[in-house]
Amino acid sequence: MIAEETVTPLRAELRQKSIALFLLLTGAILLFLLVTGLTGLVHRHEQALADEAARHGVEALHAGQYKQALEEFHTALLHVRDNESYNLGLAEALLGAGRTDEAATYLLHLRDQQPENGEVNLALARIAIHRNDFEDAEKYYHCAIYAAWQNDRADQRRTARRELIDYLLRAGAQPQAQAELMALAANADNTPATQLALGALFLRVADAPHALAAYRAALHADRRNETARAGIAQAQQILDAQRATQQNEENTHE
């Protein structure tokens, strides 16, 4: 049987060890919370600095100050590396500064990571136009049109398709432009501004019937719209001329 004088010191020693262990654990937890809090504070500070630099970068882009924009986006990326908007801003600044090859390399790297990113594909399409690369321009515009956009931005898809139509017309690819225009019109709203724009585009591809329909839709939405009235008159004149030419050709063949 263990003597009382032996048990009492053992209990005291165990109690002291338990208290010491408790204090150590408590200290470790407090230290962890302190480090976590400081890390979060540092991250928030870095993010705030990055956001501020990126904001100045966007302002510089809009002002056409591409050198400053490059500096600001570089600063933003020093604080927060893997930010899509900062990377895209840097690529746009490179493009604006005339450093097309660097911008293309940068964007292609981004596209490898996010092949369905609409903004990246749209920027690559614009670079392809700058390089007079018809195939790449058409490819990247189509990728942008059917890509994933933040918040499912239908307006961005329409912008990409309108740019593609304009490029195809300038390149003399009228059949492709007309096909893209039909796709654009199929998903267009009936606001006067939209229908007027469609009417003008249909006239550019010499599609008088669809131009006439678009201008009539614009006039239906706004009875006082003089641009729509003028568009109707122009489209009707072209349509009448086309019909007259067709009739003359038929009479000649007879």
H/E element holding 127? Answer: helix 118-130
Low-confidence residues in the chain, pLDDT < 70: 1-14, 17, 21-23, 27-28, 30-42, 150-152, 253-254
pLDDT digits (tens, 9 = 90+) for 209-229: 999 999 999 999 999 999 999
Helices (H) and strands (E) counted in the chain, each on its own, are: 11, 0
Whole-number pLDDT of residue 55 = 87
What would the two tokens of residue 169 be? Answer: 């017309």
Whole-number pLDDT of residue 178 = 93
With beta carbons less than 8 A apart as the criterion, state whether 114 and 143 touch. no
Which residues, at least 6 apart from 86, have a Cβ–Cβ distance to it below 8 Å? 50, 54, 57, 73, 76, 77, 80
Instruction: For residue 85, give the nearest of 96, 100, 69 by alpha carbon.
Output: 69
What would the two tokens of residue 63 be? Answer: 């002002």
- Residue 136, exposed/middle/buried by CB under 10 A (0-12, 13-18, 19+)? middle
Instruction: For residue 93, give the nearest of 61, 121, 55 by alpha carbon.
Output: 61
What would the two tokens of residue 51 be? Answer: 């956001």
With beta carbons less than 8 A apart as the criterion, state whether 175 and 206 touch. no
Please tell me whether residue 231 adopts helix, strand or coil conformation. Answer: helix
- Residue 94, exposed/middle/buried by CB under 10 A (0-12, 13-18, 19+)? buried
Whole-number pLDDT of residue 24 = 72
With beta carbons less than 8 A apart as the criterion, state whether 90 and 77 touch. yes
Q: What percent of the chain has pLDDT over 90?
A: 38
Whole-number pLDDT of residue 187 = 85
Whole-number pLDDT of residue 90 = 86
Please tell me whether residue 227 adopts helix, strand or coil conformation. Answer: helix
Instruction: For residue 94, give the nearest of 116, 115, 110 by alpha carbon.
Output: 110
Tell how far CA 192 is from the center of its chain.
Answer: 26
pLDDT digits (tens, 9 = 90+) for 182-219: 999 998 888 999 999 999 999 999 899 999 999 999 99
Q: What percent of the chain has pLDDT over 70?
A: 83
Does the pTM surpass 0.75? The reply is no
